[in-house]
């Protein structure tokens, strides 16, 4: 498998810092709970929260999407639920990538039922040509083409998550 560098580690770090400072302004005086979507967002999330100087809680949810290759629809299941109570809290979902948008739609709807005061979404990557969502993504690291990428938390068959940059696979 060949990897071609797509987004450098420096570009990622600069963008993550920018998003962090925007979040510091937007969530001032809020009850911030960061929800890291496992596995892919672990690296983005851990770098992002280092740039957030507000008091916050962090929790993790693990989702799995089983995509049927013949249909574009996918079934998503919860592999690990949240541990904290998010009612009356201001939620920041941290995702690795929005592709079709099915996962983020599913998660937003799931969290809405738990009565938070607000929900915002941060994603490192967004395949804007592919996604089909009827809400805005509040913080996007990079809008990318419809290509399969790995690195910085994103895997192919559980590998490449440790790479500092984002790579295209061919
Ligand atoms: P969606 O539900 O938006 O179609 O897909 C979201 C999930 O699909 C992501 O959280 C990620 O796990 C996976 N995914 C989508 N596109 C890519 C990609 O280009 N590379 C990798 N490694 N995973 C992807």
**Residue 124's CATH number:** 3.40.50.2020
Decide: 14 in ligand 1 pocket, CB within 6 A.
Answer: no
139 and 154 in contact (C-beta within 8 Å)? no
Instruction: Name the band, by pLDDT with cuts 50, 70 and 90, for residue 67.
Output: low
pLDDT tens digits for 94-138? Answer: 999 999 999 999 999 999 999 999 999 999 999 999 999 999 999
Q: What is the mean predicted confidence (pLDDT) over 19-25?
A: 98
Decide: 149 in ligand 1 pocket, CB within 6 A.
Answer: yes
Report the atom number in ligand 1 closest to the C-alpha of 131. 3
Q: What is the mean predicted confidence (pLDDT) over 26-42?
A: 97
Catalytic residue among 90, 99, 117, 134: 99
Decide: 150 in ligand 1 pocket, CB within 6 A.
Answer: yes
Per the annotation, the verdict on 47 as an active-site residue is no
Buried b (16+ CB within 10 A) or exposed e, 69-99: eeeeeeebeeeeebeeebeebbbbbbbbbbb
- Top-confidence residue, 169 or 66: 169
Q: For residue 71, is pLDDT > 80?
A: no
The preferred substitution site among 96, 145, 146 for testing ligand 1, maximizing ligand atoms within 8 Å of CB, is 96
pLDDT (0 to 100) of residue 168:
97
Q: For residue 145, is pLDDT > 50?
A: yes
Cα(40) to centroid of ligand 1, in Å? 8
pLDDT (0 to 100) of residue 1:
78
The reported pTM is 0.95
Q: For residue 35, is pLDDT > 70?
A: yes
pLDDT tens digits for 40-66? Answer: 999 999 999 999 999 999 999 999 876
Q: For residue 93, is pLDDT > 60?
A: yes
The sign of the torsion formed by the CA atoms of 136, 91, 89, 105 equals positive
The sign of the torsion formed by the CA atoms of 59, 42, 79, 131 equals positive
**Phi and psi at residue 100, in whole multiples of 5°?**
-70, -25
- Top-confidence residue, 51 or 76: 51
The preferred substitution site among 40, 98, 141 for testing ligand 1, maximizing ligand atoms within 8 Å of CB, is 40
For 21, the domain range is 3-169
Number of folded domains that form the chain: 1
Retrieve residue 124's tokens: 């490192």
């Amino acid at each position: 498998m060949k990897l071609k560098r797509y987004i450098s580690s420096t570009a990622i770090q600069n963008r993550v810092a920018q998003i962090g400072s925007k979040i510091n302004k937007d969530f001032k005086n809020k009850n911030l709970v960061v929800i890291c979507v496992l596995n892919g967002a672990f690296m983005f999330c851990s770098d992002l929260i280092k740039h957030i100087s507000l008091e916050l809680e962090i929790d993790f949810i693990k989702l799995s999407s089983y995509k049927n290759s013949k249909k574009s629809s996918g079934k998503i299941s919860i592999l690990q639920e949240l541990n904290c109570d998010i009612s009356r809290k201001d939620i920041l979902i941290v995702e690795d990538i929005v592709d079709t948008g099915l996962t983020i739609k599913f998660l937003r709807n799931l969290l809405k039922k738990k009565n938070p005061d607000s929900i915002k979404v941060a994603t490192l990557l967004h395949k804007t040509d592919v996604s089909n969502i009827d809400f805005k993504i509040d913080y996007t690291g990079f809008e990318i083409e419809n290509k399969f990428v790995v690195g910085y938390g994103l895997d192919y068959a559980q590998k490449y998550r440790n790479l500092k940059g984002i790579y295209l696979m061919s």
